[in-house]
């Protein structure tokens, strides 16, 4: 699982490797159409990196476990890597500004400010959270969790986004592993780093449907890459209970089955 490893094929970005670029809880709520968080746990943040979702969620009484290989490093090393790459990320966002919808964030400076907030909240929670089992060093497609350990698994800015780095087979194996450990999986965004819809998505959905998985594309209240307004919702046929809120895999208004 390498969400924090951002190998940009786009000429606007020149990051040269690992970039800890985390997100806030309210961003996750927008990415994944999560309204009221009560009662949806336990949740897996697959490839969580230095996001503050787990740290903020625990304060709201939600059980979240974040899994990422970056958690094998000390917090100081993660923070140092952020500082090494933040300028290059900001320059890349400025050069690629034409490819983004700035309604949610307002500016690249606001994005950078949120990333610093997320990093600070993550670092403040990291040591205690790791001791409590909230941060698990682990990489897709091999997760150290029991079958059905989570009600919901989230993958933010990893799968499909890095289609030039992570091949089709990785995506299928990763989705199958997430569905092994969780009743429902939500993935956002579904575009490549170059701003185009992922070429892996149709084949991945076809493979999952062959496994008996119910899949749907659902609108979310968020758009940063222009046109990237949908998440993939995948749910095992034997999953327990109802799906969570507006992302469910039925035919309700606001999305379509695939």
Residue 104, domain CATH? 3.40.50.150
Q: Which pLDDT score, from 0 to 100, does residue 113 have?
A: 93
Say yes or no to pLDDT of 101 above 90. Answer: yes
- Which stretches of the chain are DSSP H helices? 25-31, 53-59, 75-95, 108-131, 168-181, 201-210
Q: What is the CA radius of gyration of the chain?
A: 17
The confidence band for 16, taking pLDDT boundaries of 50, 70 and 90, is very low
SS3 151: strand
Query: Does residue 7 belong to any structural domain of this protein?
Result: no
Say yes or no to pLDDT of 234 above 50. Answer: yes
Summarised one tens digit per residue, pLDDT across range 30-41 is 999 998 787 788
The residue with greater pLDDT, 91 or 137, is 137
- How many distinct structural domains can be found in the chain? 1
Query: Does residue 4 belong to any structural domain of this protein?
Result: no
The confidence band for 132, taking pLDDT boundaries of 50, 70 and 90, is very high
Query: Does residue 73 belong to any structural domain of this protein?
Result: yes
Query: Does residue 248 belong to any structural domain of this protein?
Result: yes
Cα distances (Å, whole numbers) of residue 162 to 130, 142, 159: 27, 18, 6
The confidence band for 141, taking pLDDT boundaries of 50, 70 and 90, is very high
Q: How far apart are CA 220 and CA 156, in angstroms?
A: 13
Provide DSSP, 81-141.
HHHHHHHHHHHHHHHTGGGB--TTT-SHHHHHHHHHHHHHHHHHHHHHHHHTTSEE--BTT
The confidence band for 10, taking pLDDT boundaries of 50, 70 and 90, is low
Residue-range definition of the domain harbouring residue 184: 13-257
Query: Does residue 243 belong to any structural domain of this protein?
Result: yes
Query: Does residue 52 belong to any structural domain of this protein?
Result: yes
The confidence band for 221, taking pLDDT boundaries of 50, 70 and 90, is very high
Say yes or no to pLDDT of 96 above 90. Answer: no
Query: Does residue 165 belong to any structural domain of this protein?
Result: yes
The rounded mean pLDDT for the chain is: 86
Say yes or no to pLDDT of 121 above 50. Answer: yes
Query: Does residue 86 belong to any structural domain of this protein?
Result: yes
């Amino acid at each position: 699982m390498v969400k924090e490893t951002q190998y940009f094929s786009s000429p606007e970005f020149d990051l040269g490797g690992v970039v800890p670029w985390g997100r806030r809880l309210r961003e996750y709520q927008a990415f994944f159409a999560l309204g009221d968080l009560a009662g949806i746990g336990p949740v897996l943040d697959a490839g969580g990196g230095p996001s503050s979702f787990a740290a903020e969620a625990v304060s709201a009484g939600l059980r979240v476990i974040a899994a990422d290989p970056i958690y094998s490093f000390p917090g100081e090393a993660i923070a140092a890597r952020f500082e090494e790459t933040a300028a290059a990320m900001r320059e890349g966002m400025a050069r690629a500004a034409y490819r983004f919808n700035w309604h949610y964030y307002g500016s690249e400076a606001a994005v950078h400010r949120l990333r610093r907030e997320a990093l600070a909240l993550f670092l403040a929670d990291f040591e205690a959270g790791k001791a409590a089992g909230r941060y698990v060093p682990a990489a897709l497609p091999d997760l150290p969790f029991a079958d059905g350990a989570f009600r919901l698994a989230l993958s933010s800015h990893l799968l499909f986004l890095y289609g030039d780095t992570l091949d089709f087979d990785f995506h299928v194996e990763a989705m199958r592993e997430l569905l092994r450990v969780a009743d429902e999986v939500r993935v956002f965004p579904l575009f490549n780093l170059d701003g185009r819809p992922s070429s892996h998505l149709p084949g991945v959905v076809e493979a999952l449907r062959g496994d008996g998985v119910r899949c749907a594309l659902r609108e979310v209240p968020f758009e940063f890459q222009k046109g990237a307004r949908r998440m993939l919702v995948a749910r095992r046929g034997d999953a327990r209970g109802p799906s969570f809120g507006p992302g469910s895999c039925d035919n309700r208004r606001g999305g379509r089955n695939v």
